[in-house]
Amino acid sequence: MTRIITPAPVSGSIDVAAVDLGSNSFHMMVARAKGDGELRVIDRLREPVRLAAGLGRDKRLQPEAAARAIACLQRFGQRLQGLPTEQVRVVGTNTLRRMKRSADFIEAAESALGHPLEIISGVEEARLVFGGVTHGMGRELPRRLVVDIGGGSTEVIIGRAARPLLMESVSLGCVVHTQRFFADGVITRARMRKARLAASVELEFLERLYRQAGWDVAIGASGTIRGTWRVMMSQGWCDQAITREGLEKVIDLVIARGHVDLLDFEALRDDRRPVFPGGLAVLAGVFDTLGIERMETSDRALREGVVYDLLGRLSNRDVRSEAVNAMTKRFGVDVRQAADVERTALRLLDQLQAGWQLEPRSCATLLRWAAQLHEIGLTIAHAGYHKHSEYILRHGDLQGFSQTDQQLLAALVRLHRGKFSLQALADVPADWQTPLRRLAVILRLAVLLHRSRSPGLRPPVVTTVARKGLKLGFRSGKWLAQRPLTQADLELEADYLAVTDFKLKLD
């Protein structure tokens, strides 16, 4: 089952793993974290799968590429055996975001790995890259521009110290750009000029904002940037950083070779050569657009960011909860009302989780987030506000959330009132369909019981699982009798749920 990972806090030494399903290469990093904050990498695996190259014009993954990817993940899966799910995070990036009809591939990938796969948004990828590159850098040169050129996308981030301020993910990558401009392997000056200009055009929208923000140091991560730096170093054209002058010399050198098969630079890995021209053009476009003269390089990137983020979750510093809190403030949520709904919802979950076979930690986390955010749509309009709430959650940038996390949260919030629209569950993973319906019933009841918005109200509600539904009663017989509006709402709720063959019986 695809799970929302909500690990319990740990102490002492622990092994964690990050798997990055990139558009060019798949990476895995296993690290050992100690209680004193030390992190030691104990294993790395990398395979040049080139997933983006296997994506057809119809955005479907070709069978050969899928087979290549699954074979790689089976090897990764062997290394991950024995690691608990909460200590592993698997993320998919640009190509998986673009892929159509990806359900079969994702299912096969999860089976091969033995762990759930999260498809993350471009902005979330940018946040994780920035965290991986800047972690532990201290306060020296605090304004940082970080650039990561992947196989299918380029992340450009500006932050102060460890805090990202501007984040963009642009559909520019070494695999995609090479396919577009150097598909036959031929490299000419005209083609390189065209590819470089195309990259600049794609990046033009962020030029003014990023230049105005400024930075103290530019840092490049990823195979393309590190590969360019190594070639530059081997030729004696730079010291510890990429310079504009050195970059132009590498471009001239590549053009002089004339074909990808002749890019036999000793400093460049064999698997990097077929996609090097496109990546080089993208890097030149970044330099041109942002006016960069010097860029340092980092051997840390997305997977390190995933590990640090995962360790935060393990230490009860979950950025997703911080994102939820930020959203409640941004949309002016009545936090007291939300807290009352949350308390009752979690109490109902406690009564029903065993009978309904709901995984306690992940379901409680999702229900808590939904209770806190179910009214954010009120900032737009009261009429149909649950639909507005759903839209915001489905399409907003929520730091730390995968696309699946957002789909689940948006669907649950959509279902918290009104007609029980099964259409809201259309894009929910199959293994979440039944649990989410049951969580929606719990949230609906909690919202309904607090319709009066009386501060601190604690309904003496008792629920038990029944055939095709549940029985709902109250410890005090007078409680419901004294609240005719609540009783009428519960009777109407029974009618709403009956449409879905769910029986709500008032005891």
Supply the CATH number for residue 483's domain.
1.10.3210.10
Q: Are residues 213 and 265 in the same domain?
A: yes
User: How sure is the predictor about 317, in pLDDT bands with cuts at 50, 70 and 90?
Assistant: confident
Q: Are residues 336 and 263 in the same domain?
A: no
Q: Are residues 199 and 140 in the same domain?
A: yes
Q: Which of 145, 180, 168, 177 is nearest to 282 (CA)?
A: 177
136 pLDDT more than 90: no
Rounded average pLDDT over 182-207: 97
15 pLDDT more than 60: yes
Cβ(52)–Cβ(151) below 8 Å: yes
Which of 92, 120, 148 terminates a domain? The answer is 120
Domain carrying residue 480: 318-506
Which of 66, 88, 120 terminates a domain? The answer is 120
Domain membership of residue 310 (yes or no) is no
Q: What is the pLDDT of residue 423?
A: 86
Give the tokens for residue 321.
Answer: 């909860």
330 pLDDT more than 90: yes
Q: Are residues 453 and 377 in the same domain?
A: yes
Cβ(447)–Cβ(417) below 8 Å: yes
Q: Are residues 343 and 487 in the same domain?
A: yes
Instruction: Provide the CATH number for the domain around residue 81.
Output: 3.30.420.40
| 356-406 per-position pLDDT tens digit | 999 888 899 999 999 999 999 999 999 999 999 999 999 988 888 888 899
Domain membership of residue 48 (yes or no) is yes
Cβ(327)–Cβ(146) below 8 Å: no
Q: What is the pLDDT of residue 501?
A: 85
Which of 120, 151, 178 terminates a domain? The answer is 120
Angle at 11 between CA 5 and CA 16, to 5 degrees: 50
- Grouping H, G, I as helix, E, B as strand and the rest as coil, residue 257 is helix
433-449 helix and 403-414 helix, angle to the nearest 10 degrees: 50
Q: Are residues 357 and 472 in the same domain?
A: yes
Q: Are residues 155 and 293 in the same domain?
A: yes
Q: Are residues 146 and 187 in the same domain?
A: yes
| Integer angstrom CA distances of residue 438 from 345, 365, 463, 499 | 12, 14, 13, 15
pTM above 0.75, yes or no: yes
| Domain total of the chain | 3
| 50-96 per-position pLDDT tens digit | 999 999 999 999 999 999 999 999 999 999 999 999 999 999 999 99
Q: Alpha-carbon distance 441 to 470, whole Å?
A: 10
Q: Are residues 99 and 142 in the same domain?
A: no
| 198-216 per-position pLDDT tens digit | 999 999 999 999 999 999 9
Domain membership of residue 71 (yes or no) is yes
Q: What is the pLDDT of residue 13?
A: 83
Q: Are residues 371 and 331 in the same domain?
A: yes
Instruction: Provide the CATH number for the domain around residue 166.
Output: 3.30.420.150
Angle at 388 between CA 397 and CA 446, to 5 degrees: 100
| Beta-strand runs (E) in 5-69 | 14-21, 26-33, 39-47
